Amino acid sequence: MISFIVGIVALILGYLIYGKIAEKIFVVKPENKTPAVRIADGVDYVEMSWPRALLIQLLNIAGTGPIFGAIMGAYFGPAAFVWIVFGCIFAGAVHDYFVGMLSVRNDGASISEIVGKYLGKAPLYIMRVFSVVLLILVGVVFVYTPAQVLREMFTGGWTPEKKQIFYFIVLGVIILYYILATMLPIDKLIGRVYPIFGACLLIMALGLTVMLFITGEIRNVPEFAFQNLNPNQGKNIMAHIFPFLFITIACGAISGFHATQSPLMARCLKNEKDGRKVFYLAMILEGIIAMIWAAVAMGHFGTVEGLTKAGSAAVVVTRSSVDLMGWVGGILAVFGVVACPITSGDTAFRSARLTIADSLKFDQKPIKNRFVVAIPLFVIGILLVLFATQNTASFNLVWRYFSWSNQTLATIALWAAAAYLAKTGKQYWITLCPAVFMTVVVTAYFLSAGECLGPLLTKITGSADATYTIGIIIGLALAVALCSLFVSLIGIKQKNTIKD
């Protein structure tokens, strides 16, 4: 209980203190005209007040990551709280703020264009492909998971055939909504319903927290200790806290998906001074949501072992919501959970459309141009959804690839932000430190995880433990090498080489 409360307080203080430090280092210029003012087009560039932009940004970034990811991260015990708090304050919120503000300074540019400007042409071309692939994976995950939650919620006692029919009907409705949200001007659908869903999400999270205390289940949440509570520890290398916890809890701590979403609101801010209240604060709120769901997962099922026996994350969401808040409150809570992924999935496809359009310099004001870009994206997305629907293993594979690519994109975005700060003579340590740390995380994961190079390297090393150790060593070596190269080539020789 104390770990949970301290974590929530730390996140709030992080926004009030570290958020101001980030803002001071960036140097906002309230006198600058933002893209929403200078190049308004009535489709993607539309002025919005900061409270409205904040709620939209929160829904954009808060997919199932801070809920499903936090629940799966709870298998490790209260170590999940530590990663959420420190990751959110010093990495995730910093990442979101600097990417968002760099997009504001570059006419609402997509993350691939930002990376290309500050890291060079080769990263530009890589990021154009990488970010679109990630966005499609996000769209697929966020079509599948809300449909799964709704099936668990409303089809109790139904035959398997009826459950499947209901599931495919829900999938069709969600995809239809995604198409509309991708094509229509941002203020016509997203701008109107997102603030309502955002408020619903926050109210439901608050309701679950209150019920944890009223029922006394908050006492079941273990206090932080330097130990790994994952019951699979010693049986599976992916039960190690490092780097696997840091990949499992992505959106609740740091997420490259956010780098694809922040440009959406960068095109809608009225003033640069609103940046911290939109980009940094949205990430802090997402961290609080992740803390709450991690606490619910650990507290409601008594022990970590009880959580692992409860079933999938979707089952955990449904059971805990209904048990804690009754059927009415449970339905509202699940509605908030369902709204999260749906309102991230639609903007994932919208961001993919804008990323491709930015790379091709393809005007998106005419609706026919939007269809030209969007139709192939949805065809690919639907095929992947059908693949993920085959069985749980297929979905888990898509989820893990999404998680790794998500954190890799965040790492690249942090390096780009560090390059910007160095080239403008600013204190680049604020983004360099998390960039170095995340480089170790994604490299170690890629080399040791089962869905990546882990099995291949294990055949060479002879044991999974040896592969795990080698992955961490190579990750550390790569991070040190990149940091040294950065400081020597960018931090010293090229500072003050671009206009801010």
> Per-residue pLDDT tens for 194-225?
777 777 778 888 888 999 999 999 888 888 77
Q: 316 with 308: CB under 8 angstroms?
A: no
For residue 411, tell me if it sits in a domain: no
**Tokens coding 4:** 């949970």
For residue 42, tell me if it sits in a domain: yes
For residue 412, tell me if it sits in a domain: no
For residue 430, tell me if it sits in a domain: no
Q: What is the pLDDT of residue 432?
A: 96
> Per-residue pLDDT tens for 227-270?
777 777 767 777 788 998 998 888 889 998 899 889 999 999 99
How far is it, in rounded angstroms, from Cα 215 to Cα 206?
Answer: 14
> Per-residue pLDDT tens for 447-490?
998 777 888 888 888 888 899 999 999 999 999 999 998 988 77
For residue 469, tell me if it sits in a domain: no
How far is it, in rounded angstroms, from Cα 285 to Cα 8?
Answer: 10
**Tokens coding 157:** 């006692």
For residue 428, tell me if it sits in a domain: no
How many Cα neighbours within 13 Å face the side chain of 136? 20
Q: 315 with 307: CB under 8 angstroms?
A: no
Give residue 277's domain range. Answer: 2-391
CATH of the domain at 102: 1.20.1740.10
How far is it, in rounded angstroms, from Cα 60 to Cα 341?
Answer: 9
Q: Where are the beta strands (DSSP E) in 285-374?
A: none
DSSP letters for 172-198: HHHHHHHHHHHHS-TTTTHHHHHHHHH
How far is it, in rounded angstroms, from Cα 269 to Cα 277?
Answer: 11
How far is it, in rounded angstroms, from Cα 101 to Cα 32?
Answer: 12
Instruction: Profile the chain (500 residues) by mean pLDDT over runs of 10 residues.
Output: 92 97 96 93 92 89 80 88 95 96 94 90 85 81 78 79 88 89 86 78 84 90 78 75 88 89 93 96 95 91 78 78 79 69 82 88 88 90 78 59 81 94 92 96 90 84 90 95 87 56
Among 10, 57, 19, 3, CA closest to 276: 19
| Residue percentage of the chain with pLDDT more than 90 | 37
Cα 103 to Cα 100, 154, 220, 280: the distances in Å are: 5, 42, 43, 14
In this structure, the number of other CB atoms found within 10 A of the CB of residue 105 comes to 19
Cα 172 to Cα 176, 177, 178, 193: the distances in Å are: 6, 9, 10, 20
Q: What is the pLDDT of residue 336?
A: 63
Q: What is the pLDDT of residue 400?
A: 65
Number of domains forming the structure of the chain: 1
In sequence order, the 6+-apart residues with CB closer than 8 A to the CB of 131 are 110, 111, 112, 259, 260, 352, 355, 409
